[in-house]
Amino acid sequence: MAQDKRQVEAITPRDVDFAQWYTDVCKKAELIDYSSIKGMFIYRPYGYAIWENIQHLMDAEFKKTGHENVYLPMLIPESLLQKEKDHVEGFAPECAWVTMGGSEKLEERYCIRPTSETLFCEHYKNVIQSWRDLPKLYNQWCSVLRWEKTSRPFLRHREFLWQEGHTMHATAEEAMEETLRMLNVYADFCENVLAMPVTRGIKTDKEKFNGAEQTYCVECMMHDKKALQAGTSHYFGDGFTRAFDITFADKDNGRSYPHQTSWGVSTRLIGGIIMTHGDDNGLVLPPRIAPIQAIVLPIAQHKPGVIDAAQALLDRLQAAGIRAKMDASDNSPGWKFAEYEMRGVPVRVEIGPKDMEKGQCCLARRDTGEKTFVPLEKLEEAVAALLDAIHDNMFAMARKNLEDNTFQAETWEEVKALLEKNGGGFVKTKWCGSEACEVAMKEKVGVTSRCMPLIQTRNLGRCPICGEVCGTDIIWGVAY
Q: Which residues bind a copy of itself (CB under 8 A)?
A: 33, 35-37, 40-45, 48-49, 51-52, 68-75, 77, 80, 93-103, 109-110, 112, 119, 122-123, 126-127, 138, 142-143, 145, 147, 159, 161
With CA atoms as reference, report the closest residue to 462 among 432, 428, 434.
Answer: 432
CB of 98 to a copy of itself, least distance (A): 5
Minimal distance, residue 415 CB to a copy of itself, in Å: 34
| 35 or 372: CB nearest a copy of itself | 35
Q: How many CA atoms lie within 13 A of 457 on its CB side?
A: 14
Which whole-number Å values give the CA distances from 196 to 310, 386, 406, 459, in the listed order?
33, 18, 15, 29
Query: In sequence order, which ranges of 222-267 are alpha helices (DSSP H)?
Result: 239-243
| Cβ distance to a copy of itself smaller for residue 35 or 457 | 35
**Pick 27 or 444: Cβ nearer a copy of itself:** 27
Q: Which helix (H) or strand (E) holds 475?
A: strand 472-477
Output b/e per residue, 186-199; b: 16+ Cβ within 10 A.
bbebbbebbbbbbb
At closest approach, how far in Å is the CB of 23 from a copy of itself? 16
Minimum separation from the CB atom of position 164 to a copy of itself (A): 14
Using CB atoms within 10 Å of the CB of residue 468, give its burial: 0 to 12 exposed, 13 to 18 middle, 19+ buried.
middle
Q: Judged by CB, which is closer to a copy of itself: 141, or 362? A: 141
Q: Do the beta carbons of residue 75 and residue 112 sit within 8 Å?
A: yes
37 SS3 class: coil
Least distance in angstroms from the C-beta of 292 to a copy of itself = 12
- The neighbour count for residue 39, using CB atoms within 10 Å, is 19
Instruction: Identify which of residues 102 and 254 has a Cβ nearer to a copy of itself in the complex.
Output: 102
Report, in Å, the least distance between residue 193 CB and a copy of itself: 20
C-beta separation of 367 from 394 below 8 A: yes
Strand pairing partners for 295? 325, 348
Q: Which is nearer to a copy of itself, 116 or 204 (CB)?
A: 116
- Residue closer to a copy of itself by CB (options 10, 42) is 42
- Element of type H or E holding 126: helix 117-127
Nearer to a copy of itself, 80 or 289 (CB): 80
Distance CA 182, CA 177 (A): 9
Nearest distance from C-beta of residue 19 to a copy of itself, angstroms:
22
> Which residues lie closer than 8 Å to 284 by C-beta, 6 or more apart?
277, 278, 344, 346, 366, 367, 394
> Can you say how many angstroms the Cα of residue 215 is from the centroid of all Cα atoms in its chain?
17
> Which phi and psi (to 5°) does residue 11 adopt?
-95, 130
- The nearer residue to a copy of itself, 223 or 343, going by C-beta atoms, is 343
The nearest distance, CB 435 to a copy of itself, in angstroms, is 25
Minimum separation from the CB atom of position 120 to a copy of itself (A): 9
